[in-house]
Chains A and B, each alone.
Chain A
């Protein structure tokens, strides 16, 4: 049974009495341990899709299920609880809070879940070691580099041991060196069984995934599966698909 399933998901925004269709008809399923990248141009509906899966937004119609739980039916309070227990988030601009030091930023979801301080410390130690952020835990987000910030943000996402890790352009604000470091980390946790769903428009970033979905005008237009290919071939295929997509757009 898949971990996450979307069936005929549609999202319509009303803007000044005009209807804007962000998602037309999306169906997809993600198995546990999968690593999915979603690609598309700006405005294709990537972020809307991610927000709906993250329970930050609701679909106009269709069903979204995570482990059999229908996300569209969650109340606001339960959605918050669901986010903090089942999901981990990594954002493009990190979204770390300057009022907390890095350690407390990572602890935030655990504090909200009312875990004991001892438990928090126990969970952080191995994670911080793996992410190589142990020495900067007592510093503040504005005192460290972008790459370090994104690793702190990743630690915050992973410390709850979420069912699903959601990443929104995680490498968008990083240089190539730091981006590669973060993606190697994603590979590592995926190898350990962590399911990852990532939105990006960087082909290189997508090439780390096991599966790439292409979204255009609110529908899934194309899908690529890495299988046994090496990363370079996979990247070539992704770039080819993007070019095909773009040239088709230019023709129409």
Chain B
């Protein structure tokens, strides 16, 4: 049958185009398969905090599925270019549109089947690796990978629908094929883009607005919406700025004869200007993908790396109790007993008393009571005697002098205004028994007073009795001990905090975040690499003729190589520079989001960020180098 023949001809004679398409779709299928089989895995669901991990994976899956669909269309658009010329030729030779449609159906079906097979082979192979990584990250080796027919079926259907959508899109394009256009195709010159100042300015304003919101918004329950707005503004702004801003910038360069009429600049500026119209969007996409990769990796890695700090911060001792009444003799006895039964040994007890923390905002040397979406701190007071006992120090306080401690060591004022009264205050940089009352997302503030009266006056709230002690014994035994203890003393969840349980929770939470973050970043990196590759190839094809003419007029091969490098490097550095700028403005937001998890270690965050940026730039340059080789081969082919 002629249709099969033509379809198979088209598939086998454009190995590069079809191969890339299959590569893209099968990798996306594999990643989706991995997510779906994680989502449906029973051992994961029933592991410690499995429900949390499943939730994180679910969010990741939504993201990955979205990327997959968008990307399939993107990759398809390159297939269409090559196909349409062929289909136009067939049309001219006498095939009807229905014949063309049939050819497309056969082609797409073959691509779908091949992608599915390769994708599932990849997926089934790499899901094993994914589980190994997950086991390590979660430190739980009972999680086992099982073959999941449901995941297989779901992905088959999901991508089947995507392919059908692509096919429908291709059908719509077929209606626009006019065979006569084939003759004109090579002669048509594209108009040089115009400077659109207005859109450029709107782009800059959107970007600035997004940045402003991102920098000024403080983390709280109500700020998620504002962050979303910031992200949307930045995304739109990035596209506009890349599309119009780059043209305005290049036109400016062109208007400077002393700059423009130099061999390298002459070739690269005119070349970039000519294709910025199509490329601006591509560069903006690369920029945004790089930004998301940076933000994802930095946030998840910081959390994971900072887990130990965080556990230490929240649980300075293995067991911490916070009760409205002091622990009585009876309770102490019961504790000993349970310890004995659970086969754990109890270390020495540390105790102090503080006023139950009040929610509010600490800003500019002033604490204001506040219970709203803006709340950021919780303040409790204690006496200098309690402080000295915990710390083992001999500090003295007189009159209304205060000491203050915040875990992020950010307080610098010499005065503290509270309830409208101003007190002289000294900052202490260390406190051994920090507790995060009710495990709240607000940052704790400890104020130390000379006496009980002042403590109560600053924070008129009931006393809270805190006790902490260490345990020795296996994790399993410690966990059992804390569960039994909580039950027998009838303590609320917020009144007892166990390091072992806490650790397990953070491990699953941050391990899950990191795992999903890595998978998503890999997907995005893959997408970025593909965009870069496609850009290089399509530009190489477009530039080949141009460089041939210039070589005839007297450009040597070495000079064309130099010109290519300066052009490509400039184009490629723009998105990464943009991404780092975006990150700079997102940094305060990342920092604040991390403080929700009581992560106050700025040095750690900066280290992780710098390392991540360096890694990304290295990978990026690697891809750049690889694709430039392809580009040069195309240009010098003639």
Contact = CB atoms under 8 A, between A and B. Distances in A.
A14 interface: no
A141 interface: yes
Interface in B240-276: 257-258, 261-263, 266, 270-271, 273-274
Interface stretch (A40-48, A58-66, A112-120, A241-249): A112-120
B625 to A, nearest CB: 23
Contact of A99 (B261, B263, B273, B553): B273
29 contacts: A56-B552, A76-B557, A77-B558, A80-B551, A80-B555, A80-B557, A82-B554, A83-B553, A89-B552, A89-B553, A95-B549, A97-B270, A97-B546, A98-B189, A99-B273, A104-B270, A111-B262, A111-B263, A112-B263, A112-B559, A114-B262, A116-B261, A117-B257, A117-B261, A140-B189, A140-B192, A142-B188, A142-B189, A143-B189
Nearest to B546: A97
A91 B554 CA distance: 14
A204 interface: no
A107 interface: yes
Contacts of A100: 270
Contacts of B263: 111-112, 114
Given A83-B552, A117-B258, A99 B557 contact: no
Question: In terms of DSSP, what is the predominant structure of the interface of chain B?
Answer: helix
B554 A80 contact: yes
Contacts of A107: 261
A54 B262 CA distance: 24
Closest A-B pairs by Cβ, 9 of them: A84-B554, A142-B189, A80-B556, A98-B189, A117-B257, A99-B274, A83-B554, A95-B549, A77-B556
B189 A113 contact: no
Contacts of B555: 80, 84, 112
Contact of B549 (A81, A97, A104, A111): A97
B397 interface: no
A109 B553 contact: yes
A99 B554 contact: no
Nearest to B273: A99
Contacts of A95: 549, 552
Interface of A: 54, 56, 76-77, 79-85, 87, 89, 91, 95-101, 104, 107-109, 111-114, 116-117, 120, 140-143, 156
Contact of A84 (B192, B270, B549, B553): B553
A140 B191 CA distance: 9
B552 A111 contact: no
B550 A108 contact: yes
Contacts of A116: 261
Contacts of B554: 80-85, 87, 109, 112-113
A120 B258 CA distance: 12
Contacts of B257: 117
A111 B257 CA distance: 11
A108 B192 contact: no
Interface string B172-189: 000000000000000111
B274 to A, nearest CB: 4
Contacts of B559: 80, 112
Contact of A111 (B188, B190, B191, B261): B261
A141 B189 contact: yes
A99 B270 contact: yes
Name, among A82, A95, A107, A112, the residue most crowded by chain B CB atoms within 10 Å (CB to CB): A112
Contact of A76 (B546, B553, B556): B556
Interface in B183-219: 187-192
A113 B271 CA distance: 19
A77 B559 CA distance: 9
A100 B553 CA distance: 14
A80 B550 CA distance: 10
A142 B191 CA distance: 9
A103 to B, nearest CB: 11
Name, among A76, A95, A111, A117, the residue most crowded by chain B CB atoms within 10 Å (CB to CB): A111
B556 A81 contact: yes
A232 to B, nearest CB: 35
Contacts of A156: 553
A101 B559 CA distance: 22
B288 to A, nearest CB: 28
Contacts of A113: 554
A120 B262 CA distance: 12
Nearest to B274: A99
Interface in B527-579: 546, 549-559
Given A80-B556, A82-B554, A111-B262, 20 more contacts: A54-B552, A76-B556, A76-B557, A77-B558, A83-B552, A84-B555, A85-B554, A89-B553, A97-B549, A98-B274, A100-B270, A101-B192, A108-B266, A108-B553, A111-B266, A112-B555, A112-B559, A114-B263, A140-B189, A140-B192
